[in-house]
Structure 1
Amino acid sequence: MTERVIIDPHLHFFALNEGNYHWLKSENPPFWNDKSLIQRDFSSDDLYLDARFKLKGFVHIEAGFDNHYPCRELEYLSQSIKHIAYRAIAYLDITQPTGDFKKALANLTHYTTLAGIRDITEGEDATRLLAPNVASNLTLLASHNLIFEAQFELAQTPICHQLVQYCKTIPNLKCVINHAGLVTQETFDAWQANLAIITTVPNIWLKVSGFEMADRGYQAVWLQNIVDTLLLHFSANRLMFASNFPLCLFSKSYLKVWQDYQALSLLADTWQAMSHDTALHLYQLI
């Protein structure tokens, strides 16, 4: 049996007694009826794989540990993750005044594991990406060679155009769209049309992950359709498979996520790039 070495560029760990995790509390949104599945601590010890896979490293994405003091999450990671390579994406408000953004970013950059920031802008919050301070903050982020993780519905055409404009005017910015742009069956046509827009700039990457957020029972045929469509617009060196652990547990185990990716009909070089090489180079996981 051939062992496949993988890098997971999108997962989360929880330490409920140490962090705030406002969104994980039952009394706060999102009001998922299966939220109890993830209302516990998760660490690298929970990343169960079999002999077919070897996890070489991962990227930890901010999970609302403490949005007032995001350095606390980076400190927690530095104390709790041992014996495996990782990089971290921290929370930072992309709309705040640039002076405040600069100070907050300076605090985060004390941590050598920092790879970039995320500020979730799903649904109506996507209009925050149109805020007047975003361009200057992204320029500052790029000057530190840090990544902006964009999480919004790619079917939102005006936001898509604005993101492309940022990437054109800030050519050294690295932007990663999370969760395949949150595509659904209903938004597939608009999503596909907007893929053609974002592929025109070379500094946007995209993660294949998070399908359980829209459909707990999503099927392999849907995953294959999404990947096939992405590969019509992007080369494999701009695409990455990721787990969204532990939220993937809403649909399947960590192992099953990677088994399903392995089962896709893909060329070997394409699978290698999407499961390892793209993340290795983008996040500088060495």
Structure 2
Amino acid sequence: MIDAHHHLWDLSAVHYPWLMARGVERFFGDPTPIQRNYLIEEFRDEAAAVGGSASVHVQVGAENSLAEARWVQSIAGANPDWPLKQVVFVDATADDLDFQLNAFQALPSVVGVRQIVGRAPGEDAVTGTNTLLDNPAFVAGLQNAGQRGLSFDLQLIPELMGKTADLLARAPDTAVALCHAGSPHDRSNDGLARWAAELCALSDLPQVRCKLSGLGMFEHDWVSESFRPIVETCLNQFGSNRVMFGSNFPVDKLYSNYSTLVQTYRDLIPREMHQAVFNDTAADFYSISQI
């Protein structure tokens, strides 16, 4: 099993301003319980207990993204028996984008980049990340990443899917992984229906894959049936060969343990799709060679 979306942090090695802000509620809830080190040993123990054997580290708001990437590379190098790839942060609109990408691509574990377009309506209104979609340099940056063989991890909210799909169509050679199933934050029946309708704009693009990850961030007291309509919609629209599992740990550790989360997905996903969703899609997308 490959976990296609998780985070690690050593608070003595890399600084994460958002994580260490005390008393600040985030869109996913109160981060206090995870304001501590979350290291590869703890993650491996949790994942390996249910069949995990490789994973993808996704950038997580470090003050210095290159420092974070170099730290993750050191973890990958120290754990050769656990294939670890990483997705790093870059500002795709930066004037020195080529310089940044050259530095990141000097690290063997780097396979993709991420720049968050949307987290949740409330936070997006404050951060203004949605303005990326109106910046011509953003499209050029995506195209640049794709030309270099780097994928792009896309995090956004359903309200932005149509506009983003139009933009991605202009970068058809850039492989895209949709984080957290597109963040269906409104879990009412009407909200899920709107999310599913908007999702079609992305699932229609052949370069887009979908991660079943982070679903606990918008429904903290979730039960298995909470995830069913989301899982079924993603599988119906993308097909199992374009869907992959990600734990989003330790963020989703706030609301579940690892084994419960994995078992929930295993129960909801038809058995004949397990190989693709829990392994093959991620292995292909992130170029993971397993031992």
Instruction: Please point out which of 60, 63, 70 is paired with 2:60.
Output: 63
Instruction: Provide the residue aligned with 1:166 in structure 2.
Output: 167
Letter in 1 for 2:15: N
> For 1:269 and 1:249, how far apart are their aligned partners in 2?
28
> Is residue 92 of structure 1 aligned with residue 95 of structure 2?
no
Q: What is the CA distance between 1:199 and its match in structure 2?
A: 1.8
Instruction: Provide the residue aligned with 1:40 in structure 2.
Output: 36
Secondary structure of 1:55's match? coil
> For 2:221 and 2:34, how far apart are their aligned partners in 1?
17
Give TM-score, length-normalised by structure 2: 0.88
Q: What is the CA distance between 1:95 and its match in structure 2?
A: 2.8
> Is residue 256 of structure 1 aligned with residue 260 of structure 2?
yes
> For 2:30 and 2:172, how far apart are their aligned partners in 1?
41
> For 1:105 and 1:152, how far apart are their aligned partners in 2?
22
Where do 1:213-252 residues align within 5 Å? Answer: 213-252=217-256
Instruction: Name the CA shift for 1:208/1:103 in 2 (closer, same or farther; >3 Å).
Output: same
> Is residue 192 of structure 1 aligned with residue 196 of structure 2?
yes
Letter in 1 for 2:101: L
| 1:61-100 deviations in Å (ceiling 9; x for gaps) | 0112334xx2211211122231310110011112323xx1
Alignment RMSD, CA only?
1.9
| 1:142-197 deviations in Å (ceiling 9; x for gaps) | 001101111110x21xx323322233222211111111111031431221111222
Q: Which moved more, 1:80-89 or 1:271-280?
A: 80-89
Letter in 2 for 1:59: V
| 1:111-149 deviations in Å (ceiling 9; x for gaps) | 111111111222342232221201111110000110111
> For 1:114 and 1:138, how far apart are their aligned partners in 2?
16
Instruction: Name the CA shift for 1:75/1:227 in 2 (closer, same or farther; >3 Å).
Output: same
Letter in 1 for 2:263: Q
Percent of residue pairs identical: 25
Q: What is the CA distance between 1:30 and its match in structure 2?
A: 4.2
Conservation of the 8 A alpha-carbon contact between 2:139 and 2:168: no
Secondary structure of 1:17's match? coil
Instruction: Provide the residue aligned with 1:3 in structure 2.
Output: none
Instruction: Name the CA shift for 1:281/1:33 in 2 (closer, same or farther; >3 Å).
Output: closer
Give TM-score, length-normalised by structure 1: 0.89
Secondary structure of 1:263's match? helix
Secondary structure of 2:63's match? coil
Instruction: Provide the residue aligned with 2:9 in structure 1.
Output: 14
Conservation of the 8 A alpha-carbon contact between 1:95 and 1:129: no
Instruction: Provide the residue aligned with 1:75 in structure 2.
Output: 70
> For 1:260 and 1:252, how far apart are their aligned partners in 2?
11
Instruction: Provide the residue aligned with 2:20 in structure 1.
Output: 25
Give unpaired runs (5+ residues) of structure 1: 1-5
Give unpaired runs (5+ residues) of structure 2: 119-123
Where do 1:60-209 residues align within 5 Å? Answer: 60-67=57-64, 70-81=65-76, 82=79, 83-97=81-95, 100-122=96-118, 123-124=124-125, 125-153=129-157, 155-156=158-159, 159-183=160-184, 184-186=186-188, 187-209=191-213
Q: Tell me the matched-pair count.
A: 273
> For 2:55 and 2:47, how far apart are their aligned partners in 1?
17
Secondary structure of 2:136's match? coil
> For 2:213 and 2:172, how far apart are their aligned partners in 1?
26
| 1:225-254 deviations in Å (ceiling 9; x for gaps) | 111111221111111111001011111112
Larger helix proportion of the pair: 2
> For 2:48 and 2:102, how far apart are their aligned partners in 1?
41
Q: What is the CA distance between 1:36 and its match in structure 2?
A: 1.6
Instruction: Name the CA shift for 1:33/1:138 in 2 (closer, same or farther; >3 Å).
Output: closer
Secondary structure of 2:206's match? coil
Q: What is the CA distance between 1:106 and its match in structure 2?
A: 1.1
Conservation of the 8 A alpha-carbon contact between 1:176 and 1:204: yes
Conservation of the 8 A alpha-carbon contact between 1:24 and 1:35: yes
